Amino acid sequence: MVLEDLTAPLSRIYGPSAIYPQQIERRGGENGFKRAVCFYEVPSEHVIRESEPPALDRFEPGMNGQPVGILDIIPQRAIDHFRNTAVFPGHKGIRAAVAYSEALVNSSLSNGLHTHPARLISLAGVSFVQFVLPGSRLEISEAQNDPSLAARTVYLKRGQDVVTEIKGLKVGFYPEEDPPRSLLLPDQMIEAMIQSAAATALDLKEELDGIPMFQGGIGCTRFFAQVSEGTKVEIATSTTADKRGFNGSVAAFVNGDKIAESRDMRAMIIPRRVAEKLGFKLTD
């Protein structure tokens, strides 16, 4: 088994504390597919989140009586994604949607059945449509104002523009009022899987002439268990790639047991000259 370090090349792009696997074992491929297993040992800084802003700021009245969640993108919400450019991470938008669904369900129940915090169980797909920079104000709403729905379609909008669409969002509830603080959140696992797909598709030994951006989105994603600090996660990937971008399927395992899976992770490669025109600084 030949292990390739990912910490050095990925930290050049995303910074030292961003979420990504530390190693990769490339397993070749055929019929246009590249396959690999990435290794992600959950560090303490990824599960200790006391200094992070809340997932959702507040609610405001919306049209037709539907409450709207408000998320102000302050600078603290746009760190640890790209090393040299502040951008709101897409996975934190998913976290905000979970918080929105949690609040809707809890506020609709008078018997206290679900007064505990929620966690992401699955989603049918996510489309990341636009970049979100500090100073933005996002509004979060669902397609139907029905807290009893098992699965929701949730939109994150900046003004009238949709920046993220999440279909088939399903949440579950922790049995405790305060879930264990040492658990990695499902949206963080999504980020680890996305970075594993990117590492499989790209040659990170050489400096990239561009950056991978998941403006395409991800397909059906499910979670079967959560992991805690120090857990070693093996992330199996299968991707196809060309100069324009890549598409991959990913499954995460702990001690042979599948804990998460995601299909159809799609990213485009934004060339350096275009990225820099958009405000992305790729080098120090």
pLDDT for the residue numbered 201: 87
Domains for the chain: give ranges and CATH numbers: 51-180 (3.10.129.10)
Residue 145 has pLDDT above 70, yes or no: no
Average pLDDT of the residues in 164-170: 95
pLDDT in tens, 204-242: 766 666 677 766 789 999 999 999 999 999 999 999 988
Of 71-85, 123-137, 154-168, least confident by mean pLDDT is 71-85
**Among the ranges 1-15, 168-182, 254-268, which has the highest mean pLDDT value?**
254-268
pLDDT for the residue numbered 178: 66
Place of tokens 């899976």: 261
pLDDT for the residue numbered 109: 47
pLDDT for the residue numbered 37: 97
CB 105 within 8 A of CB 114: yes
Residues forming beta bridges with residue 54, ordered by sequence position: none
Average pLDDT of the residues in 243-255: 92
Q: At what angle do helices 186-201 and 90-108 cross, to 10 degrees?
A: 160
pLDDT for the residue numbered 110: 47
pLDDT in tens, 29-61: 888 899 999 999 999 999 988 788 999 999 888
Q: Which residues of 208-220 are buried (b: 16+ CB within 10 A; e: fewer)?
A: bebbbbbbbbbbe
- Higher-pLDDT residue of 257 and 108 is 257
Residues forming beta bridges with residue 38, ordered by sequence position: 24, 235
SS (H, E, C) the chain: CCCEECHHHHHHHHCCCCCCCCEEEECCCCCCCEEEEEEEECCHHHHCCCCCCCCCCEEEECHHHCEEEEEECCHHHHCCCCCCCCCCCHHHHHHHHHHHHHHHHHHHCCCCCCCCCEEEEEECEEEECCCCCCCCEEEEEECCCCCCCCCEEEEEEECCEEEEEEEEEEEEECCCCCCCCCECCHHHHHHHHHHHHHHHHCCCCCCCCEEEEEEEEECCEEECCCCECCCEEEEEEEEEECCCEEEEEEEEEECCEEEEEEEEEEEEEEEHHHHHHCCCCCCC
Of 18-22, 127-131, 175-179, least confident by mean pLDDT is 175-179
Of 63-77, 134-148, 240-254, least confident by mean pLDDT is 134-148
CB 8 within 8 A of CB 22: no
Percent of the residues in the chain that have a pLDDT greater than 70, as a whole number = 89
Residue 161 pLDDT level (bands cut at 50, 70, 90):
very high
Rg (alpha carbons) of the chain, rounded to whole number: 19
pLDDT for the residue numbered 88: 92
